[in-house]
Amino acid sequence: MAFIQMNFYSDALKFSTDVNIILPTPSDVDAKGGEPYFEEGAKYQVLYLLHGTYADHHDWTRLSSIERYAQEAKVMVVLPSGENSFWQDMYIGPNYFTYITEELPRFIRTIFPVSTAREDTFIGGLSMGAFGALNAAVRCPEKYAAAICLSGGMSAFRSLPATEEELAAGPWPFKAILPPPYDGKGTGMDDIPIIQKLAASGQPVPRLYFAVGTEDFVYGNVVKTRAFLDEVGIPYTYEEGPGVHNWTFWDEYIQHGLKWLGLRGTTLR
């Protein structure tokens, strides 16, 4: 297993940013005697995995066993850093949406042996990252085969601030993320019309997986997200189980999500 901590200049962000990368390789234990470790021409399936609020690119490796699950599934995992931006191109601030959906994949494809096919490209995340993953999947349905959304759903049902108090409270800099009057209308976070348009377009929609703990404070938002997807006729897989908004839940359900992706379990040639 290779674990790569990388820093590179991002033109979308206009600063150098950290990315952690998990690249499945045969361990000494896995390797059969004499077989070469690294296959020329291998192409990995790749999962872009987004962190939640309060976090950075280290969170998934620090608080879950994602490397072990990625090794078992033989999928490359890319862990970017996005501040508390909701993974948006901020009104005042860095362009995180452009970064994770355009620049970072292009960069990864340039320097790592990954498949460029939509069917081999996935996005996922937890909480704010679940929102980011869903947001990327519905705004760029041509780029992703599937999205894993743990403990999060549509921004329209959770994140958009309605009052001055909500704008002031919490860790999200909505006055930097969104243009005035900060209600998100017409922006990338305004996902009701985006999803309605996608459903009506007949375009292939990425497969969607949602999981949420029954005691999680975002449970109601996921209920609303599901109801909306039912209404517009977008299929999804849904799981719930006992749990709250924490890493015990995410460590377990990222494993479910990886299984649900139906990965090939090999590096592709």
Stretch that binds another protein, among 6-14, 65-73, 181-189, 203-211 (CB under 8 A): 65-73
Return d(Cα 201, Cα 203) in angstroms, integer. 5
214 binds another protein (CB under 8 A): no
* Residue 259 C-beta: closest distance to another protein, Å: 15
63 binds another protein (CB under 8 A): yes
1 binds another protein (CB under 8 A): yes
Residue 225's alpha-carbon distances to 48, 154, 205, in angstroms, are 22, 6, 16
Stretch that binds another protein, among 77-85, 103-111, 186-194, 239-247 (CB under 8 A): 239-247
Return d(Cα 137, Cα 128) in angstroms, integer. 14
Buried-state track 176-205, b at ≥16 Cβ within 10 A, e below 16: bbbeeebbbeebbbbbeebbeebbeeeeeb
Task: Please identify, using beta-carbon distances, which residue of 18 and 89 lies nearer to another protein.
Answer: 18
Stretch that binds another protein, among 55-63, 133-141, 176-184, 223-231 (CB under 8 A): 55-63
Restricting to residues 115-154, which ones interact with another protein according to CB under 8 A? Answer: 127
Single out the residue of 37, 54, 92, 106 in contact with another protein (rule: CB under 8 A). Answer: 54
83 binds another protein (CB under 8 A): no
Return d(Cα 228, Cα 217) in angstroms, integer. 19
67 binds another protein (CB under 8 A): yes
The DSSP bridge partners found for residue 173 are none
Stretch that binds another protein, among 58-66, 135-143, 177-185, 227-235 (CB under 8 A): 58-66
- Spatial contact of 255 and 72, defined as CB atoms under 8 Å apart: no
Phi, psi (degrees; rounded to nearest 5) at 20 = -100, 140
Restricting to residues 13-42, which ones interact with another protein according to CB under 8 A? Answer: 27-29, 33
Number of residues near another protein (by CB under 8 A): 24
Stretch that binds another protein, among 51-59, 87-95, 107-115, 152-160 (CB under 8 A): 51-59
Task: Please identify, using beta-carbon distances, which residue of 158 and 245 lies nearer to another protein.
Answer: 245
259 binds another protein (CB under 8 A): no
Count of CB atoms situated within 10 Å of the CB of 136? 24
Task: Please identify, using beta-carbon distances, which residue of 127 and 135 lies nearer to another protein.
Answer: 127
Handedness of CA 187, 189, 192, 195 (dihedral sign): positive
* Residue 205 C-beta: closest distance to another protein, Å: 30
- Spatial contact of 61 and 91, defined as CB atoms under 8 Å apart: no
Phi, psi (degrees; rounded to nearest 5) at 18 = -95, 140
202 binds another protein (CB under 8 A): no
Q: What is the 3-state secondary structure of 75-143?
A: EEEEECCCCCCCCCECCCCCEHHHHHHHHHHHHHHHHCCECCCHHHEEEEEECHHHHHHHHHHHHCCCC
Q: List contacts with another protein (CB under 8 A).
A: 1, 3, 27-29, 33, 52, 54-55, 58, 61-65, 67-68, 127, 244-248, 251
